[in-house]
Structure 1
Amino acid sequence: MNAPSCHTRIDWIPASGFQLRKAGVQFDAVRVDGDDGRRAADLLEHMTGGDPGPVVIEANGRRGVYFLLPPGSTAGRAWPAGAMPFNACRGTVSYVPVPARGGRTWPLAWRCPPTAADRFVHPFLLLNVLLAVERAAAAPPGSR
């Protein structure tokens, strides 16, 4: 995991705590809950040498993993079961929780902090990773 850069100022990251940001403005997001989300984040990190783009994790409730993607990139795409897109499609309003880079942000944290204002998780890479995680979960035990 990359350490957050103290020099990169990104205006949608709050200075402290956490805030909800409207999806589709600065970014879209895809949430995957529980172990599948964490497996997808592990695989993305491995495939990208530790820099898959910004990923937020939630420590309680659904234990959601939010993958932040370029704005407008989640709409009109068939996401696998268990993947919930957050965007600004016509007739929808979605909000994504975004933690500060440090301090008290529980239950949210950066799994992979953003490294630049325009650096996001690649939509096609995420889609393929989620399909691989889905296939692995559906495989009979012992065949993995």
Structure 2
Amino acid sequence: MNSETSSLRVHDWIPATGHALRHAGIHFDAVRIEGALGEQVAYDLMQYTDFRAGPIVREATGGRYLYFLLPPQTADSYTWPVGARALSRRAGNLAYVGVPALDGFTWPLDWRSRPTSEVPYVEGDLLHEATERAVR
């Protein structure tokens, strides 16, 4: 790993190479939104935050989900509209999210928006608002 990549690796749960499964609710909560709806929400968040939305993982296969990573124990604070699903550590819920490395071959996952030291997570209120607007 080069020093530039090392300095960008904001969280220790981001793998150095490839991708890895991480348990939602421990390092982060996630909100999973499928396909076109997820892309619309991501686009709106990126526009609103001047392209500093925080970590959004995009899946290139299957449902083409986008995973918006929030601080741990926050996703369940919201009532998500149909099409968005909170992944957390609530009772009886075990969910894993694939997290890509910041560089190199990570297919079928990539970063739609990377975490930064200034924006280590997606802001829950903004995500909830963007999701509500997108489903109307």
Query: TM-score w.r.t. structure 1 length?
Result: 0.86
Amino acid at match of 2:62: G
Question: Map of 1:57-68 to 2, 5 A cutoff?
Answer: 57-68=58-69
2:102 is matched with 101
Shift of residue 117, structure 1, vs aligned partner: 8.6
Q: In structure 1, how many angstroms separate the alpha carbons of the residues matched to 2:94 and 2:103? A: 28
Alignment-mate amino acid for residue 47 of structure 1: Y
> Residue by residue, what CA displacement relative to the aligned partner does 1:87-144 show, whole Å, maximum 9, x if unpaired?
0001211111100111111010001111129721111110110010001xxxxxxxxx
Percent identical among aligned pairs is 44
The yes-or-no answer on 1:25 pairing with 2:26 is: yes
Question: How do residues 1-144 of structure 1 correspond to structure 2 at under 5 angstroms?
Answer: 6=5, 7-9=7-9, 10-116=11-117, 119-135=120-136
Q: CA RMSD in A?
A: 1.4
C-alpha distance in 1, partners of 2:72/2:125?
A: 14
CA spacing shift, 1:25–1:118, aligned 2, 3 Å: farther
Cα deviation, 1:17-62, whole Å, max 9, x if unaligned, reads 1111001111000010010100100000000010011001011110
Q: Deviation of residue 8 (structure 1)?
A: 2.9
Rounded Cα–Cα distance in structure 1 between residues aligned with 2:118 and 2:46: 19
Which consecutive segments of 4 or more residues in structure 1 shift more than 6 A? none
Q: Secondary structure at the match of 1:75?
A: helix
Tell me: CA distance 1:47–1:76, structure 2 relative to 1, closer, same or farther (3 Å): closer
Q: Distance in 1 between matches of 2:135 and 2:27?
A: 28
Q: With structure 2 as the length reference, what TM-score do the two structures score?
A: 0.91
Count residues in correspondence.
131
Gaps of 5+ in 2: none
**Alignment deviations for residues 40-87 of structure 1 (CA, whole Å, 9 cap, x no partner):** 000000000100110010111100000000100011421010001110
